[in-house]
Amino acid sequence: MDDRLLDEDRVMQICFVTDDLEKSMAWFADLTGKQPMHVGKSADHDAARAVYHDRPANVSCRLALFRFANIDVEFLEPGPERSAWRDVLEQKGPGCHHIAFRTRNMQRRASYLIGKGHGELQRAEFDGGHGRYAYFDTEPQLGVQIELLEWNDNMEPQG
């Protein structure tokens, strides 16, 4: 791959924000015949070290992941506080929030997106401390945000 966005030639995930995680999970499970492979939450405030619009933030969500052979489908219910998730839910209602790409170098890929005019909206550590995520403003061009996902066990040296 080159120095643009992609470390892998695939979209890893598509995510939908919802105002009722249980209802969305039940509907999707009935529709597809699949059960979520993971139901979880965002990291607690101190562990997350979240940043929302360039300021330290307390953000929370509950989520469910459905695994398919070619992609993960995520449903995410934001907490009540301001967040990239809450913003989309309040502005557009339930629906597509982001597409996600896995990266081995968050710093380099984030710099690339920011250099293209796609500001970072939110970033934080995963629950469990094994990696991190960041959302970038690509809504004017895509209608959804781009998320980068980085796992500690697959990182390149940063800096």
Q: Please report the pLDDT score of residue 128 as a whole number.
A: 77
Q: 88 — phi, psi (to 5°)? A: -65, -45
Nearest-angstrom CA–CA distance, 11 and 100: 6
The pairing of strands 120-125 and 61-67 is unpaired
Q: What is the 3-state secondary structure (H, E, C) of 90-145?
A: HHHCCEEEEEEEECCCHHHHHHHHHHCCCCEEEEEECCCCCEEEEEECCHHHHCCE
Give the pLDDT of residue 2. 60
CA atoms lying within 13 Å on the CB side of residue 75 = 20
The C-alpha atoms of residue 75 and residue 125 are separated, in whole angstroms, by 18
What pLDDT does 159 receive? Answer: 64
Instruction: Say what the pTM is.
Output: 0.94
45-49, 79-83, 96-100: range with lowest mean pLDDT:
45-49
Which residues does residue 96 pair with via DSSP β-bridges, in sequence order? 16
Tokens of 83: 């967040």
**Whole-Å CA distances, 99 to 72, 139, 158:** 10, 11, 24
